[in-house]
Chain A
């Protein structure tokens, strides 16, 4: 069973999984980073408190986050078709993955930015820094290790989600695991794909932690 075709398929699966995970995480941050910044800034302890904006964003994030990914996947099929042209395959899966990741990323970013010591923010304010400078130079600059740890967690989560897309023919390792392991009872193939997924998550985790430790100047 371990012929070239199988190995090629697994390699293709790894490629598709990484493609979906990385692009979805990237687009997720395009939406989620501003969202997280807005949440942190408009919070009542933030630098520009605004109860109305905070509550609206908070509500949207909670709604989207409480939709199970499998259902979101099906729910956004019309949008996926409109954006990508088809509703299956790795590229199409990026749409629901991005939508699921964005609010999650927003929360991660929000909590990272809120870790920045209030005294440090106040020091910047006392020197006349405006909201923009505080966001870019103090909030993001000072929480970068935490933000990076966040990216690592998001990558792992999105990779997990991408496997679920296999149910609707999303492509990638999860797709292979479901097709061979579940529909054809070829348990070995499923286990091999699982091992690959675990190794990939570990690798991303290790890389992220390594990078964040390198950038951390707070402790020795």
Chain B
């Protein structure tokens, strides 16, 4: 195994009652890499992310994270999940907890870190995303974009080694999308390892080290140059998919 390899997926196979969502899927993610996964709805992108932190079990194949196998019901899955941060499309902040309480819950209760130390870090992270004045607000008092930035901070406060973003801007009003993407771009620049599922093509182009195009649960096209991929997609399926984003 490559020394810098963080995550490896081998021959993943996942189906929901006969409906195949991932077919013999392989992937290797190196530390510091930013990988953007695109593809039509229902192509298995979200399922892929959910399998990586064991929210979904796979029928066959192997997921290895930092040398340890990821299995949905294994004993050490809690340890592994702490190292894999995930941000969801629907934010999923705890509605009865303040912004600060949302962020410190898992670091304090799961990682058993000291409250003062976690709070201090949470406030610093909130400041970085421009939300330190919202620390005592409840989720309902925030806009969608603010909620999603809090969700990102919540994931960051766990000190994850990789971040998974599952269509995090899909539920946002267009004017809120930017602030969330800027936060993610910032993280990418700082060297975070990220796996991003998105429909924001120009963002994908700007942030990605590597583009994966999925269709029907398979990796159809992969490119280490986002520019090449978006300007000259090699496969017909990718060409067709990208055309749906163009207006002429």
Contacts and interface: CB of A to CB of B under 8 A. Distances in A.
Choose among A123, A141, A145 the residue with the greatest number of B CB atoms under 10 Å from its CB. A123
A126 B53 contact: yes
Interface string B132-155: 000000111000000000010011
Given A123-B88, A217-B140, A220-B140, A141 B97 contact: yes
Interface stretch (A34-42, A52-60, A129-137, A161-169): A129-137
Point out which of A117, A120, A128 has the most chain B C-beta atoms below 10 A from its C-beta: A128
A133 B110 contact: yes
A142 B94 contact: yes
Interface string A180-220: 00000000000000000000000000000000000111111
B140 A219 contact: yes
Contacts of A144: 96
Contacts of B96: 141-142, 144-145, 215-218
A141 B93 CA distance: 13
A129 B106 contact: yes
Contacts of A122: 55, 88, 92
A215 B81 CA distance: 31
B130 to A, nearest CB: 22
Interface string B103-139: 0011001110000000000000000000000000011
Contacts of A220: 140
A217 B106 contact: no
A117 B79 contact: no
Nearest to B138: A217
B92 A128 contact: no
Contacts of B154: 127
A117 B106 contact: no
A81 B140 CA distance: 53
Interface residues of B, number: 31
B55 A125 contact: yes
A119 B92 contact: yes
A31 interface: no
A19 to B, nearest CB: 33
A128 B78 contact: yes
A64 interface: no
A216 B140 CA distance: 11
B158 interface: yes
A23 interface: no
A137 to B, nearest CB: 6
Interface in A103-156: 117, 119-120, 122-130, 133, 137-138, 141-142, 144-145
A120 B140 contact: no
B90 interface: yes
Given A122-B55, A137-B105, A130 B78 contact: yes
A119 B90 contact: yes
B95 interface: yes
A215 B138 CA distance: 12
A120, A142, A144 interface centre (most CB from chain B within 10 Å) = A120
Contacts of B109: 129, 133, 137
24 contacts: A119-B88, A119-B92, A120-B95, A122-B55, A123-B92, A124-B105, A125-B55, A125-B81, A127-B81, A127-B82, A127-B105, A127-B110, A128-B78, A128-B80, A128-B158, A129-B106, A133-B110, A137-B105, A141-B97, A142-B94, A142-B96, A145-B96, A218-B140, A220-B140
